[in-house]
Amino acid sequence: MSRDNWRSKGPVFVVLVLAGILVGLFASVFAVAGIALGLRDAVKPPNTVAHVATRGTVVESMTIETGAMDGHPGWPRYTNPFWTVHVGQTVVLRIKSYDTGTAPLGGVQTMFDAVSGTVSGTESVDGKTVRSVPNTQIAHTFTVVGLGLNLPVPAAPAGGSVTVTARFVAQRTGAFVWQCYAPCGSGPNSMGGAMSVMGWMEGRVHVLA
């Protein structure tokens, strides 16, 4: 391209390059936003199934423990990781945690500091009704994406315990995986070890007709 041609067409070329860069940036922003919205939608309560009859109340109790268990020192673990309920039952879930460590959520996972999917949109922490737990205080979550249920669990006081209680009603049948979304495991992202082992920081809820 001659110098005269470059002078006449150079500015247009620069504008096109800048426009391409801006388009790329906007595409990246929208992609990240899309992932965040997708995760947010994933934990919304499922559509209510028509004519789900009330089936009474059932109590499920879980415990979060730490220590040298089964040759895994320091691994946190939910006891009673597998349980079964029926559609329409009001499930009173009690989670008693002895874990004094915190595992703050990061990125889009910070949405899991809020309670969702319970009867009242709240949970009880040692008798106090809350709609969320401050991220800096979170130790674990009990999250069933398929049922739209999320319960944040705060760290227990030194030498003590904390109890989270909530009520929810399963509106669909199936086998649903629950997981802890707080980075409380091992590895560079704290998402290994107990976080990826069924029966430790994940399990299943079976909902029968």
Q: What pLDDT, in 10s, does the model give residues 121-164?
A: 999 999 999 999 999 999 999 999 999 999 999 999 999 999 99
Q: Residues 63, 116: one domain? A: yes
State the alpha helices, DSSP H only, in the chain.
Answer: 3-42
Quick check: 110 and 182 in contact, CB under 8 A?
no
Comparing 60 with 196, the larger pLDDT belongs to 60
Q: Is residue 51 part of a domain?
A: no
d(C-alpha 123, C-alpha 129), whole Å: 6
**Whole-angstrom distance between the N-terminal and C-terminal Cα of the chain?**
75
Residue 1 lies in a domain: yes
20 and 86 inside one domain? no
- Which residue carries 């691994």 as its tokens? 75
Mark residue 22 as left, alpha or beta (left: phi above 0; alpha: psi -120 to 50; beta: remaining): alpha
Cβ-contact 66, 99 below 8 angstroms: yes
CB neighbour list of residue 201: distance below 8 Å, 6 or more residues apart: 76, 77, 78, 140, 179, 180, 184, 185, 194, 195
Q: In this structure, are 93 and 21 located in the same domain?
A: no
11 within a domain of the structure (yes/no): yes
Q: Which of 88, 85, 25 is nearest to 208 (CA)?
A: 85
Does some domain include residue 71? yes
How far apart (Å, rounded) are the C-alpha atoms in residues 129 and 141? Answer: 17
Question: pLDDT class for 187, splitting at 50, 70, 90?
Answer: confident
Question: Residue 68's pLDDT band (boundaries 50, 70, 90)?
Answer: low
Both 114 and 18 in one domain: the answer is no
Q: Are residues 35 and 129 part of one domain?
A: no
Same-domain status, 188 and 137: yes
Average pLDDT over the chain, rounded to an integer? 80
Residue 74's Cβ-side half-sphere holds a number of Cα atoms within 13 Å equal to 7
So what's the pLDDT on residue 185?
Answer: 78
Same domain, 24 and 68: no
Query: For 69-96, how does the pLDDT look when each residue is reduced to its tens digit (9 = 90+)?
Result: 566 777 899 999 999 999 999 999 999 9
Instruction: Report the number of distinct structural domains present in the chain.
Output: 2
Q: Is 52 a member of any domain?
A: no
Q: Are 66 and 7 members of one domain?
A: no
Q: Is residue 82 part of a domain?
A: yes
HSE, side-chain direction, 13 A CA sphere, residue 6:
3
Let me know whether 179 and 204 are in one domain: yes
Same-domain status, 99 and 7:
no
pLDDT band (50, 70, 90) for residue 188? confident
Structure tokens at 3: 């110098």
Q: In this structure, what DSSP letter does residue 106 have?
A: -
Q: Is 50 part of a structural domain of the chain?
A: no
Sign (positive or negative) of CA dihedral 144, 150, 155, 157: negative
| Token pair recorded at residue 63 | 């415990």
Question: Which strands sit side by side in the sheet containing 174-179, from one edge to the other?
Answer: 82-86, 202-208, 174-179, 138-144, 149-154
In terms of domains, do 11 and 69 share one?
no
Which residues span the domain enclosing 135?
A: 57-208
Q: Choose the weakest-confidence range: 61-70, 95-104, 114-123.
A: 61-70
Say yes or no: 83 and 4 in one domain.
no
Measured from the Cβ of residue 81, the count of other Cβ atoms closer than 10 Å reads 16
